[in-house]
Structure 1
Amino acid sequence: MKSNLPRRNYPLLLVGQFLGAFGDNFVLAAILGPLTFQLLAGKITEQQVNAQNTLFSAVFFVPFILLAPLAGFLNDRLPKTTWLLGGNALKLAGTLVGLTGVWLHQGDFHASRVWQVIGYTIIGLGACVYSPAKYGVLPEILPADRLVKANGTVEMLTLIAILGGLWGGASLYDHGRSLPLCYGVTAALYAVALIVNGLMSATPCDRATQLGHSVGEFGRHLASLARHPRLGRVLLGCGLFWFTGAVLRTNLQGWGLDALRAAGVAEITNQRLALLKIGLIIGVVAGSLLAGQWHRTGDLSWARRYGLLLAGAVALLGWLGGHAGLAIAVAGLVAAGLAAGLLLIPLNAALQHESDPTRLGKTIAVQNFTDYWSMLLGAGFMQLLTHFGLLANPIFLGLAATVAVLAFFLRIPAAPAPGQEAASTSSGRS
C-alpha cells in the first residue's frame, strides 16, 4: 500500500505540520501580548495576567482530555489525511472566531476576550484530532526503515515552529499592536497548511472500526498501564514533567515581567519575554540530547534525581528572579529545561520499549491522555495559588516544593529481564 502512495505525501506532511505548529504558537503569543502592556500601564494586576495565561492553557488542554478516545476512533475510521485536513480546518475556524471578536469590539480588549477564548478552544479541538493523525500517518506513507528518522524530523520541525511562532507572534504584536492583524496572519498560516494537506493522497482506513469498541479498548488499556508496577510509575514521571511545564509556561509571563524589571531592563516587550521562553525550550532540547548520550533505553536510575534537580532549578528562579541579573535568570531557565529534558526522554523511551508492541498505538494514546490531564492539573494548581494572592516568584517556590515532594516518591522498579517486557505489559488485559 505504501509504495502506491505518491512520494510527495511525506514532504507535504512536513510542510503542513510546520505551518500548523507555527500558527498554534504564533496566535497564543499574540493573544497574550496585550497583557504585557496592560500590566506595565497599571490597568491589570499580575494575578489577572496569571489568570489569563491559565485560562488559555486550560481551554487548549481540555479537548485532548475529553475527546482522546474519539480522536483515536476518527483517525482509524477515516483516512488520517482526512483529519490532517480536518484539524487545520478547525484551527482556521477557531482563528476566524477570534478575529470576529476583536473586529466587533475594536479597541475594547475585554469585550472581545470571550470570543478569543471560544476561538482558542476550537483551535485546541483541531490540534486534538490533528495530533494522532500526524504520527499515525507516518507508517502508512513511509517504509519501516525510515520511521525513526521521520519521527525525529517531525519533532525537530515542531520545535523550530514553536520557537519561531512564539517569536513571530510576540514581534508582530509589539510592532503593530493589532490583534486583527495577528489573527489575519494566523488564518493565512492555517489556510496554507490546509491547502498543503489537501494535496496529499488519501491513506488507508478501517471502515469496520466502531466507536464503542474503540472507547472500551482505550479504557481497558489505560487501566492495564495504571496497574503495571513499572509503567504506571513511568506515566506518573511523564505527568510530573508536563505538570511542571504547564505551571512554568503559565507563570512565565508574570515572572518574566518582574525579572526584566528587577534586572534593570528599560524597555520591556513581548519579544524580550519570548527570549526567556526560548531559553527554557533550549534547555529542554539540550537535556533531551544529553539523555540519549548518558542513558541506555530502560535506564531510569536517575529519574528521581533529575526530578529533584528540576525542583532546585525552579526554586532558584523563584528565589532570585532577575535580582542577580538577566544572564542568571536566563541560565536558571536553561537549567530548569535541562533537568526537565533529562527527566522526560528516558521515561518516554522506556514506555515505548517496554510496552506490548502490538498495542503501542494505544499506549501512546493513553500517555497523551495522562500528559494532558497533568497539564490541566498544572493549570489548576497555578489558578489556586493565584486565587490566594501569590505572585510570580512565590508561585515558582510553591511549584519547586511540590515537584520536590513528588520526585522524592518517584521510585521506579527495575526493568524486567529481557524477553519479559511484552508478557508483563499484557498481563492486565481483559
Structure 2
Amino acid sequence: MKKGFYTIIAAQFVSSLADNALLIAAIALLTEIRSPAWITPLLQIFFTISYVLLAPFVGAFADALQKRHVMFISNALKACGCLLMIGGVHPMIAYGVVGFGAAAYSPAKYGILTELLPADRLVAANAWLESATVLSTIVGTMLGGALISTYASRFVQHMHWPLIHSAADLAMLAVMITYAIAAALNVGIPDTGARYPNRLAEPGELVGEFVRCFNVLWADRLAQIALWVTTLMWGGAVTLQLLVLKWADANLGLSLSKAAVMQGVAGLGIAIGAAAAAAWIPLRASLKVLPVGLITGAVAVAMAFYNKNLFPPGAGLRVGELFAPAYIIFAYPLMVLLGALSGFFIVPMNAILQHRGATLLTAGHSIAVQNFNQNLAVLLMLGAYAILLTAKMPVQWIIAVFGVFITGMMWLAQRRSAANAHKVDMRALIEE
C-alpha cells in the first residue's frame, strides 16, 4: 500500500470510534436533563437529516477541496458539536452539527482511496476500511458505556473540573479529544495530487444530475432489489441501535452503560456475519441471501419477548465473587445471532448495488443515491419510533412491530425479485 494509506485507515478508525461513543454520551446527557423518551430518536434524526438534505452536494464539496482537508473540516465540525454539548447547548441541536460534519466525511473517505491507490488495490483497501469501521463500532460503543459508568462518575466527583460535572460531560470531553486526534491524523495524509472542477456554483445542475441517477437505479430491475433491501436494513439497523438500549433497560434491567455492551456484542455479530458472507457468497450468488432478511425480522420479533422473567430467580453462573445472571448470558448469543444475520445479509446486497451502480452510473453517483435512500429510511423509521414512544407503547411491542415490518418488506422484496427474474436474466445483469 502507498504512503498515507494506513494514516487514512487510522483516521477512519479513530473518527468512527468517536461517532459510536458519542451516541452513548449524548443519550446520557439527555437522561441527565430528564428529556422525555421520544427525544432520543430525534437525536438521531437531527444527525441524519444533513445526509438527506445535502446528498446532491456533498460529492461536489468533497471534490472542490483536497479530500484530506474535507476530512479535517468534518472532524473539526464534529469536535465543535461536542464542545457545544459540554457548553450546555441542547444535545439535539449540537448533534445536528456533528451530523453536518459526518455528511461531508463519507464521500471524502471513499473518494481518497481511488485517488491514492490503483484499481487493483481498491478491494483490499475497502476491506481494510470496512474492517476498521466495524472494529471501531464495537470498541466505540463499549468505550461510550465505560465513560458513563459509575466508576467514571466517582472519578468526576473527585476531579472538580470546570464544565465537567458528570460522567456524561467527561464522556463528551473524551469524544471531543478523539475527534481532534482524528482531525490531526487527517492533516498527516499526503496530498494525492488529484484536482477537480469546483461545481458548487451549479446547484441546479447537481440536483438535476442526482435526480437522474436516482431514477436510473430505481428503474433497473437488479439495482432496485439491492437498493430496496439495503435501504430497509440500514434504516432498521439505526433504529435497532436505539431499541437495543431501550430493550436492555425494560426487559433486562440494565443501566445505559451496561446496555451499550449489548450494542457492542451485536456489532461483533455483524463482523462475524460479514466475514462469513465475504468468504462464502460470490457476487453471482448474492440474491440467494434474500431469505436471510426474513429470518432477521423473525429473530427481532423473538428478541422483543426475551426478558429476565423467562429464567428462575438467582439462575446464573458464579465464578468466585463474580456472578453472571442466566438472562444476561443467553442475551449475548441472541445479540450475536441478530448481528450475524444482518451482516451476512447486507454484505452481498451492498456488493450487488455497488457493482450495478458503477455499471449504470459511476461509483460516486451510486453511493450518493444509496446514502440518500438509506438515510431517508432512517428518518422515517426513527420518526415512527418517536411517535410510538409518544403513544407510550411498550418497547416489547415496538420491537415486535418493527420485526414484523422488516419481515413483511423482505417478503415483498423476494416477490419482486422473483417477478423481475421472469422478465430479465438477473444473473446476467450481475455478471455485466
- Percent of aligned positions that are identical: 26
Alignment of 1:313 onto 2:313: no
Alignment of 1:176 onto 2:179: no
Which residue, out of 248, 253, 259, partners 2:251?
259
Deviations for 1:198-235, whole angstroms, at most 9, x for unmatched residues?
22233312125344333321110001111112211211
> Which structure 2 residues correspond to residues 171-210 of structure 1 after superposition, within 5 A?
171-174=146-149, 175-177=151-153, 178=166, 179-203=168-192, 204-209=194-199, 210=202
CA contact (8 A) 1:87 1:127 kept: yes
Q: Which amino acid aligns with 1:17?
A: Q
Name the CA shift for 1:10/1:312 in 2 (closer, same or farther; >3 Å).
Answer: same
CA contact (8 A) 1:78 1:207 kept: no
- Mapped partners of 1:229, 1:17: distance in 2: 34
Stretches of structure 1 lacking an aligned partner (at least 5 in a row): 102-111, 262-267, 424-430
Which residue, out of 141, 144, 158, partners 1:166?
141
1:407 alignment counterpart = 410
Q: How far off is 1:157 after superposition?
A: 1.2
1:248 alignment counterpart = 240
Q: CA RMSD in A?
A: 2.3
2:393 alignment counterpart = 390
Q: Which amino acid aligns with 2:265?
A: G
1:264 alignment counterpart = none
- Mapped partners of 2:107, 2:287: distance in 1: 31
Which residue, out of 20, 24, 29, partners 1:29?
24
Which residue, out of 332, 337, 347, partners 2:339?
337
Deviations for 1:361-411, whole angstroms, at most 9, x for unmatched residues?
211111111111111122012112212221211111111111121111112
Alignment of 1:219 onto 2:211: yes
Q: Which amino acid aligns with 1:157?
A: A
TM-score (norm 1): 0.85
Stretches of structure 2 lacking an aligned partner (at least 5 in a row): 154-165, 311-326
CA contact (8 A) 2:284 2:427 kept: no
TM-score (norm 2): 0.84
CA contact (8 A) 2:39 2:386 kept: no
Equivalenced residue count is 392
- Mapped partners of 1:90, 1:321: distance in 2: 40
Counterpart of 1:134 in 2: which secondary structure?
helix
CA contact (8 A) 1:33 1:170 kept: no
Counterpart of 1:335 in 2: which secondary structure?
helix
Q: How far off is 1:11 after superposition?
A: 2.2
- Mapped partners of 1:164, 1:119: distance in 2: 23
Counterpart of 1:147 in 2: which secondary structure?
helix
> Which structure 2 residues correspond to residues 340-359 of structure 1 after superposition, within 5 A?
340-357=342-359, 359=362
Q: How far off is 1:417 after superposition?
A: 6.7
1:129 alignment counterpart = 104
Which residue, out of 231, 247, 252, partners 1:239?
231
Q: How far off is 1:34 after superposition?
A: 5.2
Q: How far off is 1:344 after superposition?
A: 1.0
Q: How far off is 1:304 after superposition?
A: 3.8
Q: Which amino acid aligns with 1:184?
A: L
Q: How far off is 1:271 after superposition?
A: 3.3
Q: Which amino acid aligns with 1:391?
A: P
Which residue, out of 71, 75, 81, partners 1:88?
75
CA contact (8 A) 2:137 2:267 kept: no
1:265 alignment counterpart = none
- Mapped partners of 1:212, 1:35: distance in 2: 39
Counterpart of 1:371 in 2: which secondary structure?
helix
Name the CA shift for 1:280/1:420 in 2 (closer, same or farther; >3 Å).
Answer: closer
Q: Which amino acid aligns with 1:199?
A: G
- Mapped partners of 1:384, 1:230: distance in 2: 34
CA contact (8 A) 1:21 1:158 kept: yes
Deviations for 1:334-374, whole angstroms, at most 9, x for unmatched residues?
22212212221111111122334351221111111111111
- Mapped partners of 1:371, 1:298: distance in 2: 24
More displaced stretch, 127-136 vs 288-297: 288-297
Counterpart of 2:283 in 1: which secondary structure?
coil
